[in-house]
Chain A
């Protein structure tokens, strides 16, 4: 579980005259949990959208397992082994919980098969159930996703991202809008997930980030401000000035 998994070189993104990201160079080793933090508007979401293929960078290159990702359409990113969850719950509301995950599981194998009966694809069904079990939703498999509680929908969001068995899992504020109890469950889940795969996490809850991550990357005004172990970040004067100071007592 070592070696470079993702290398980002000189990546920038402009929207017209607005510079959302500028000259980001950073790389991530396989098998650890890294958090991306930064105040609102720092470019975290843009960064995630570039890593998951939703946005194309205006400059710079991405390499995943040595393969260049630039120019690849978004739907191919999952096939490379990069999967993501969303900050705003982004599920299939009118499908059952199980179907939400099952449909994500089949994307890598049988997407255009119009002949076989999907209820009989037992391997996919079992994989979907395993992902639901991992996030603690197996008991809800028959319910429509729209009837789940907010916290459960956040967990389903992660199960959808997880079922493709990605090497790199991108989680965009998995605890957004959650109460303390739900947050605790989510932190336990994140710890379990990080044991087996590389996770990049965007979060606002500072205490949680510093406790959970092996490494923290700080963005500010679209630039890389700091990069290091949680303790180094905690004592970095620049970071304290732009970020920690203003959110003292937060989270």
Chain B
């Protein structure tokens, strides 16, 4: 059993049939997202599921896989959106260059917040991330010449883009959806790669038993900082997508309510599953749409549903479904 060849065979137990298909979690997820505009009642909703799905997926890396409950993920969502908007509107950077620039700058912000927050644990970590994210909110509010302050950031409409020589009307919702889906696909591929990597094993070990991970020879603080930055980078890409989609950046994006919403979405969908964040984002947004049709107090109902989930379905919709179907290994 210890020869390299059989070791490999054991390491990939389901290399045929259904098991093989389920292991292609990135392709499966892309396939679902590709038909999403026709599954959901409106295309506007589908675009939002795409965007929030990416943001929540990035957060899942931190919360679901590493076990770090941050209440400040809105900072990176907002940063991605603001940096994209400022780069395009103020500095005339082409949109396809603005996105990687915004992600890089947001990752820098994540490094700064991470250096401070990952030194703390438990509730202190949650509170420090919340406080620092609120700091970002107030900076955006005050620096109104850059950010538009309370009115949000405007004036960077991307209406027409050039895709490999083909002019595309970006105001057309279908075109927009598929261009943004390419970003989501990129994020999913990157996240899947991280989860399959040796570092992906380190963050799970830290979640399971921090003390033992340290005794095994891992620099726990450094690993937490790295995952905090990766998580911020992926969530910020969702922010870039939102900026391109809306052509404005509302200040509310940075507010702690957005962070709370991200936490709710990941728990509704299922933390620690690959596609759960998209299910969570879709469920939350559909609930919001449906319930707000007949009462302005929709948050009361969404809140109640959330409490029921935490009490009775702690693995969320997708996580519970995977468990029920007995699909545990790859957790697609």
- Mark A residues whose CB is within 8 Å of B: 52, 54, 73-79, 83-84, 86, 90-95, 99, 102-104, 106-108, 110-123, 125-126, 129-130, 133, 138, 141-142, 160, 164
What count of chain B residues pass the 8 Å CB interface test?
A: 37
Nearest-CB residue, chain A, relative to B209: A92
Contacts of B11 in A (CB 8 A): 119-120, 122, 125
Chain B contact surface mostly: helix
- Mark B residues whose CB is within 8 Å of A: 1-4, 7-8, 10-13, 193-194, 196-202, 204-205, 208-209, 211-220, 222-223, 226, 230
Docked CA distance A128–B257 (Å)? 45
Docked CA distance A54–B210 (Å)? 13
A93-B209, A160-B216 as given contacts; A114 in contact with B197, CB under 8 Å: yes
Contacts of A126 in B (CB 8 A): 2-4, 7
A118-B198, A129-B10 as given contacts; A75 in contact with B1, CB under 8 Å: no
**Cross-chain contact B219 with A73 (CB below 8 angstroms):** yes
A117-B196, A126-B2 as given contacts; A95 in contact with B214, CB under 8 Å: no
Nearest-CB residue, chain B, relative to A93: B208
**Cross-chain contact B217 with A113 (CB below 8 angstroms):** no
Contacts of A99 in B (CB 8 A): 201, 204
17 further A-B pairs in the complex, CB-CB below 8 A; given A111-B218, A114-B193: A75-B215, A79-B217, A86-B212, A92-B212, A104-B216, A106-B202, A111-B223, A114-B230, A118-B196, A118-B198, A118-B201, A125-B8, A126-B4, A129-B1, A129-B2, A141-B10, A160-B216
Nearest-CB residue, chain B, relative to A53: B215
Our pick among B3, B12, B196, B202 for the contact of A111 (Cβ within 8 Å) is B202
**Cross-chain contact B217 with A78 (CB below 8 angstroms):** yes
Nearest-CB residue, chain B, relative to A117: B196
**Cross-chain contact B212 with A106 (CB below 8 angstroms):** no
Docked CA distance A76–B216 (Å)? 9
**Cross-chain contact B198 with A94 (CB below 8 angstroms):** no
Docked CA distance A75–B3 (Å)? 30
**Cross-chain contact B212 with A91 (CB below 8 angstroms):** yes
Our pick among B196, B209, B218 for the contact of A91 (Cβ within 8 Å) is B209
**Cross-chain contact B226 with A112 (CB below 8 angstroms):** yes
**Cross-chain contact B198 with A116 (CB below 8 angstroms):** yes
Docked CA distance A203–B98 (Å)? 62
**Cross-chain contact B212 with A90 (CB below 8 angstroms):** yes
**Cross-chain contact B197 with A164 (CB below 8 angstroms):** no
The distance from the CB of A195 to the nearest CB of chain B, in whole angstroms, is: 19
A92-B212, A111-B218, A164-B217 as given contacts; A122 in contact with B8, CB under 8 Å: yes
**Cross-chain contact B4 with A123 (CB below 8 angstroms):** yes
**Cross-chain contact B230 with A133 (CB below 8 angstroms):** no
Nearest-CB residue, chain A, relative to B4: A122
